[in-house]
Amino acid sequence: MKRFDRNTLSKISLVLILVVICVALAIFQPSFLKTTNIFNLLRTTSITGLIAIGMTVVIITGGIDLSVGSVVGISSVLCGILMKQNGWPVGISLIVTIVICLLIGLVNGLLIHYGKLPPFIATLGTMEMGRGLAMYITKGRTIPSLPQSFTGFAQLKILGLPSLFIVWVVVILLGFYILRFTRMGRNIYAVGSNMEAARLSGIKLAPTICFCYMFNAFCAAIAGILLTARITSGQPSAGEGYEMTAIAASVIGGASLAGAEGSAIGTVIGACIMAVIQNGGNLLGINSFIMDIATGALVVIAVLIEKNKKRT
């Protein structure tokens, strides 16, 4: 019960911080509350927030995935090539893109479990290979003029809200359901708490670990597709730095890099805090390098708070 209360209070505190930041921005920069800015903020947050949901699932196991940024790039390039150069229908192109990205997640899981590689090393390797592959097959060039039937989705509104935000909400609910109400979710927390104890209790480690990295790759693939639709072109450099943003959102939202702690809701709040700070910095004309420093400081502070809670 104490653990539940602590986690609940932590989320309430994060919500209050988010509200305070929004109120401050509304006072110092009234354009923050304009409909155009709010919708752009929702679209931007949806893309990075998608990756953060998948990253949280991985972090709960005590792992890390540095390859998600390059998966976003591969996703962007693949759907662009299949639709523009190969002339494939939009639906089939997207399905093939997602399947290939899932295979990248599977490779990560297999390298970590059967190859006994530390998650940092395994995913660092696939990150470099993925980014190099995206650059090689496009020769570093963008893939412009994608079909309107695809790019138009990014501008749609569903129930008065941006379509990208609706997709994010669906993935949030999926992540919440998996972690909270399924056996796989319980296994994920058990593996993060003590992998050896989880194995001895009958949990199959390989399927659990592979599922987490495949789910993360799935989220990154969807994010890459949505980003491509929004910028109307396939970009081999798409997703650069997104892995750090996703990790930061997860940690700020309460995920522990030691494993066994984290939630979809906390990550959503963390992603919103980061996006609002970045958006506010742009509106106020703050140097982007200063914003990078602030983001890094937020991550360090969040980890220090989490460590202090464990000591207490």
Percent of the chain scored above 90 by pLDDT? 78
* Neighbour-count burial of 91, counting CB atoms closer than 10 A to its CB (0-12 exposed, 13-18 middle, 19+ buried): exposed
pLDDT of 7 > 80? The answer is: no
Instruction: Look at residue 153 in the predicted model and tell me its pLDDT.
Output: 93
20-24, long-range: CB < 8 A, 24+ apart: 21/273, 21/276, 21/277, 21/280, 22/276, 24/280
Q: What is the mean pLDDT of residues 263-284?
A: 92
pLDDT band with cut points at 50, 70 and 90 for residue 145: confident
pLDDT of 5 > 70? The answer is: no
Kindly report whether the global pTM for this prediction surpasses the value 0.85.
yes
pLDDT of 205 > 90? The answer is: yes
Instruction: Look at residue 81 in the predicted model and tell me its pLDDT.
Output: 94
Q: CA angle, 60 as apex, 57 and 62 as ends, to 5°?
A: 120
User: What tokens does 305 get?
Assistant: 């708070």
Rg (CA), the chain: 19
User: What tokens does 44 get?
Assistant: 């931007």
Alpha carbon 164 to chain centroid distance?
A: 14
Give the residue from 143, 139, 135 showing the smallest Cα distance to 231: 143
User: What tokens does 113 get?
Assistant: 């479990």
Q: What is the mean pLDDT of residues 18-30?
A: 92
Per-residue pLDDT of 66-107, as tens digits, reads: 999 999 999 999 999 999 888 899 999 999 999 999 999 999
Report the mean per-residue pLDDT for the chain: 91
